[in-house]
């Protein structure tokens, strides 16, 4: 394998037969190139689906209140459903064994000012568990805690962009911000992986908002995450159970789809999983089809190479070359060309994905990429296939008597 003369002969053979070598390499490079692009596009679609749901916990369930669409139990249609603290407590206690985190939400819009800076923002009044549902990361300070809820504290946690908008010459942590004429102490600054709007939100304790905005116990929404050990079907069934229980609680017809609505991430995740799974199978079939085409191309070229070199093999045998050495020369040359061409195909394929990545976002393909290990595996497959395809004719040619090989046309 490391015989200098052997490698010299191989490179001389490649240099002497450039067209043949280029055709062999092109077959491999093109197969690897297509393989890389196909799997890169599939990964890009997977990234798009993942990013669409990374703003919230993947096991979240959102419970919304609306108006009844149907009369039921003597109650007219058009009745407004209004959640209260007791409904939040009911869900929390009734499904305690299946709920991981739970929070209420109250929505308000405010004008925030700090010194000479002013801007409008959305306020979400929440419980401490909301941090885990929204996948919020604390940059400085802390999040809302249970003591804030119990004491109805005038504290807020602001988004990173709120700090950038209003606190131009200082940091926000520990300062007081004016929201519609009321001062709140900033106890934390957060970041969010969602879009910029998510970092222009202000969080406050739900009890504080209830006292200030109406002195009541109303809430707008109930959010929770189910036990992550549940599979998709169990989580979907759990969501339907919550829906039925809440409809019974508010005397809503079971067929009324507007009064109480539930958005269950398990349903979306299951659909996405099925879609990406089907897409993966299609890409896998196409990818293997590409590899098979490459294998066939290499096989044909190997057979042609051996046939073309029959006279050369005869001369080598006449000079005392062993069958093993003849087979080694042919196979090592094939493996060398395939490895180099595969690497070139990998580089070109990844280069195309890198270049086209920004343009592909328009078609909902984000950050298309492919693991080098996958492409290396495909290249090794082609090398092995080419070696096997070339071994049999090479072995057959190596067994021909020199006089017969020299007479070959």
**Closest to 393 in 3D by CA, of 299, 311, 294:** 299
Q: How far apart are the first and last CA of the chain?
A: 31
**Closest to 353 in 3D by CA, of 31, 39, 48:** 39
Question: Residue 75 has what DSSP assignment?
Answer: B
Instruction: Give CA–CA dist 125/107, Å, rounded.
Output: 7
Most confident of 17-21, 170-174, 189-193, 321-325: 170-174
**Closest to 46 in 3D by CA, of 278, 249, 217, 204:** 278
Residue 52: the pLDDT is: 60
Q: Are 225 and 59 in contact (CB under 8 A)?
A: yes
Report the share of the chain in percent with pLDDT over 90.
43
* Separation in Å, CA 326 to CA 261, 336, 391: 75, 16, 11
Instruction: Give CA–CA dist 248/74, Å, rounded.
Output: 14
Average confidence (pLDDT) over 80-93: 95
Q: pTM for this structure?
A: 0.69
Higher pLDDT among residues 327 and 285, named by residue: 285
What would the two tokens of residue 253 be? 């017809």
The residue written with tokens 């798009």 in the block is 48
Q: Are 189 and 173 in contact (CB under 8 A)?
A: yes
**Closest to 313 in 3D by CA, of 404, 190, 232:** 404
Which pairs with CB-CB distance under 8 Å and at least 24 residues apart come from 315-318?
315/402, 315/405, 315/406, 317/398, 317/400, 317/401, 317/402, 317/405, 318/402, 318/406
What does the angle CA 196 – CA 197 – CA 201 come to, to the nearest 5 degrees?
120
CA atoms within 13 A on the CB side of 351: 8
Most confident of 124-128, 212-216, 303-307, 384-388: 124-128
Q: What is the DSSP string of 209-239?
A: HHHHTTSS-EESEEEEEE-TTS-HHHHHHHH
Report the share of the chain in percent with pLDDT over 70.
86
Torsion angle, CA of 187/190/196/197, rounded to 10 degrees? -50
Question: Residue 123 has what DSSP assignment?
Answer: E
List all residues 6 or more positions away from 393 whose beta carbon is below 8 Å from its beta carbon.
302, 303, 306, 307
Instruction: Give CA–CA dist 62/140, Å, rounded.
Output: 28
* φ, ψ of residue 313 in degrees (nearest 5): -65, -40
Q: How many residues in total does the chain contain?
A: 409
List all residues 6 or more positions away from 88 whose beta carbon is below 8 Å from its beta carbon.
102, 104, 219, 222
pLDDT tens profile 237-289:
999 999 999 999 999 999 999 999 999 989 888 887 787 778 778 877 877 77
pLDDT tens profile 165-185:
999 989 999 999 999 999 999
Q: What is the DSSP string of 252-309?
A: --TT-SSSEEEEEHHHHHHHHHHHHHHHHHHHHHHHHHHHHHHHHHHHHHHHHHHHHT
Q: Are 125 and 204 in contact (CB under 8 A)?
A: yes
To the nearest whole number, what is the mean pLDDT of the chain? Answer: 84
What would the two tokens of residue 98 be? 């299946």
Average confidence (pLDDT) over 185-209: 91
Residue 21: the pLDDT is: 72
Q: Are 226 and 106 in contact (CB under 8 A)?
A: no
What would the two tokens of residue 242 be? 């919550």
Residue 124: the pLDDT is: 96
Instruction: Give CA–CA dist 1/270, Å, rounded.
Output: 52
pLDDT tens profile 352-382:
888 888 787 776 777 787 777 777 777 777 7
Instruction: Give CA–CA dist 41/159, Å, rounded.
Output: 34
**Closest to 128 in 3D by CA, of 153, 142, 145:** 145
């Amino acid at each position: 394998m490391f015989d200098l003369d052997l490698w010299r002969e191989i490179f001389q053979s490649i240099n002497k037969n450039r067209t043949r070598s280029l055709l062999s390499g092109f077959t491999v490079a093109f197969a690897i190139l297509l393989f890389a692009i196909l799997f890169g596009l599939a990964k890009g679609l997977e990234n798009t689906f993942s990013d669409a749901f990374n703003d919230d916990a993947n096991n979240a369930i959102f419970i919304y209140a609306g108006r009844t669409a149907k009369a039921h139990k003597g109650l007219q249609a058009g009745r407004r459903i209004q959640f209260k603290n007791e409904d939040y407590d009911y869900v929390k206690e009734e499904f305690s064994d299946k709920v991981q985190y739970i929070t209420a939400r109250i929505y308000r819009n405010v004008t925030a000012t700090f010194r000479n800076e002013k801007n409008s923002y959305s306020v979400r009044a929440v419980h401490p568990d909301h941090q885990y549902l929204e996948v919020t990361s604390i940059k400085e300070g802390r999040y809302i805690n249970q003591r804030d809820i119990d004491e109805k504290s005038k504290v807020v946690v602001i988004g990173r962009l709120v700090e950038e908008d209003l606190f131009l010459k200082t940091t926000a942590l520990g300062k007081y911000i004016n929201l519609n004429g009321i001062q709140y102490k900033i106890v934390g600054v957060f970041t969010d992986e969602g879009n910029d709007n998510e970092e222009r939100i202000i969080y406050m304790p739900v009890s504080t908002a209830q006292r200030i905005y109406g002195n009541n116990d109303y809430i707008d929404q109930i959010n929770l995450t189910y036990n992550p050990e549940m599979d998709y079907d169990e989580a979907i069934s759990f969501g339907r159970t919550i829906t039925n229980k809440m409809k019974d609680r508010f005397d809503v017809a079971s067929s009324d789809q507007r009064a109480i609505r539930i958005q269950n991430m398990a349903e979306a995740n299951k659909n996405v999983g099925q879609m990406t799974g089907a897409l993966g199978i299609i890409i896998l079939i196409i990818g293997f089809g590409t590899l098979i085409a490459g294998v066939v191309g290499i096989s044909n070229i190997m057979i042609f190479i051996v046939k073309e070199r029959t006279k050369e093999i005869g001369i080598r045998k006449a000079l005392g070359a062993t069958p093993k050495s003849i087979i080694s020369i042919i196979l090592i040359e094939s493996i060398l060309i395939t490895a180099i061409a595969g690497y070139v195909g990998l580089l070109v394929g990844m280069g195309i994905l890198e270049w086209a990545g920004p343009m592909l976002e328009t078609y909902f393909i984000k950050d298309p990429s492919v693991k080098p290990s996958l492409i290396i595996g495909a290249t090794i497959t082609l090398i092995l296939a080419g070696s096997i395809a070339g071994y049999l004719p090479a072995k057959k040619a190596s067994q021909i008597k020199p006089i017969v090989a020299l007479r070959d046309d």
